[in-house]
Amino acid sequence: MMNRRKILQAGIGLTVAAPLLAAVKQGRYDDAITVLGRATESGQVAAATLCVRQEEEVCSQAFGDAISTDASFLLGSISKPIAVTALMSLLDAGEFKLDDRAVKFLPEFHGDGREGITMRQLLTHNSGLPDQLPENAKLRSAHAPLSEFISAATHTPLLFAPGAKYSYSSMAILLASEVAQRISDKPIATLVDEVVCQPLALKHTAMGVGHLPIESLMKCQVEYAAPESGAGDPSTQTWDWNSDYWRQLGAPWGGAFSSASDVARFLSEFLHPQAGMLQPETARSMVRNQNPSSMKARGLGFDLGDSLYGPARDTVFGHTGSTGTLCWADPTTDSVCVVLTTLPGRAVTPHPREQVSRRVLATLSS
């Protein structure tokens, strides 16, 4: 018998004021469920959760060490669209425009062509900023606060002229989040709570640990972790993904915790914008391509297209996380898929999250 806990939920609130959700057809997602069941039974994956929604039908399930579907996982880069959503509430308030120069809000962000970087470029990964700082490990081992990462990011050398090409950048999202903090005079974790978590009633989500009980947090399998998070080296235990330091830091590029159903609720707000977080047109703009046709398609904080291991359509939006997470939403089929695991994305190819996503896609397409 697979070590799994199955909940076919009828009221997790994936749409505002939704009627009772229809029961999932018996066995519909068994192929996807089997992948995570086997992965956790074998010990390859310590814990995982799955949430799939199509229209009013929801399947939500926990595996391995996740004792319920409310377990919160370190999202990795799925944190980015959550942080950007908090920022975009300030666009709704008229506090900034996408084509404003970032230096307008970060006066120290100048020299080496930085003055030309726009807010849009920070959010679509063509600013020229690196993904991680050269001094990342040094800062983390010293338990540096976010303010020190921000200071370093404002002065780190650009990799190329702003707007010249696409290059994924966690530090660009950090600086965009700093703009949000300076405009609102609130920490990004507080702004996320006010703009995203409270309106959508996301009780298992926070930027950093926040209010979440420690026992609800799933531990990452850090022996397979990304290089920037210590790669499982025992000497990095004081600053790796499972450390108190990293959990409390609340890095907007990768430090959010959430449950699969909360992530599904978040994505659903972009499928059916209702002014719960943002004005509907602002929400729609976040999941539309903002980059030139010569570059990889990106929304505002969101990834787009088949790199999400879901439908091969540019209208599909979501994100993956190096901690072993994946989520996507497809407007064509009105569906959402969220796979959260504790096995880092670089640990194995193909990763179980990808196999699950492909099987969910096959089911939705049948």
Residue 123: phi and psi, rounded to 5, are: -85, -15
Contact 45, 55 (CB under 8 A): no
Q: What is the pLDDT of residues 114-141, one digit of tens each?
A: 999 999 999 999 999 999 999 999 999 9
Structure tokens at 308: 């999400």
Residue 303: phi and psi, rounded to 5, are: -85, 155
State yes or no: pLDDT of 14 exceeds 50. no
> What pLDDT does 91 receive?
98
CA 239, CA 246: separation in Å to the nearest integer? 6
Structure tokens at 53: 């929604």
The pTM is what? 0.92
Q: How confident is the prediction for the chain on average, in pLDDT?
A: 92
> What pLDDT does 94 receive?
98
Q: What is the pLDDT of residues 201-260, one digit of tens each?
A: 999 999 999 999 999 999 999 998 888 888 888 899 999 999 999 999 999 999 999 999
| CA atoms within 13 Å, Cβ hemisphere of 280 | 4
Please report the sign of the dihedral spanned by the C-alpha atoms of residue 71, residue 75, residue 78, residue 83. positive
Q: How far is CA 335 from the centre of its chain?
A: 18
Q: Which amino acid does the sequence have at 304?
A: L
Closest listed residue to residue 34, CA positions, set 334, 363, 365, 366: 363
CA 321, CA 218: separation in Å to the nearest integer? 15
Please report the sign of the dihedral spanned by the C-alpha atoms of residue 174, residue 179, residue 185, residue 186. negative
Residue ranges of the alpha helices (H) in the chain?
30-41, 79-92, 119-124, 136-141, 146-155, 170-184, 188-192, 198-200, 244-249, 260-271, 280-286, 352-365
Q: What is the pLDDT of residues 45-91, one digit of tens each?
A: 999 999 999 988 999 999 999 999 999 999 999 999 999 999 999 99
Largest CA distance in the chain: 62
Domains (range + CATH), the chain: 4-77+204-272+302-365 (3.40.710.10), 80-189 (no CATH)
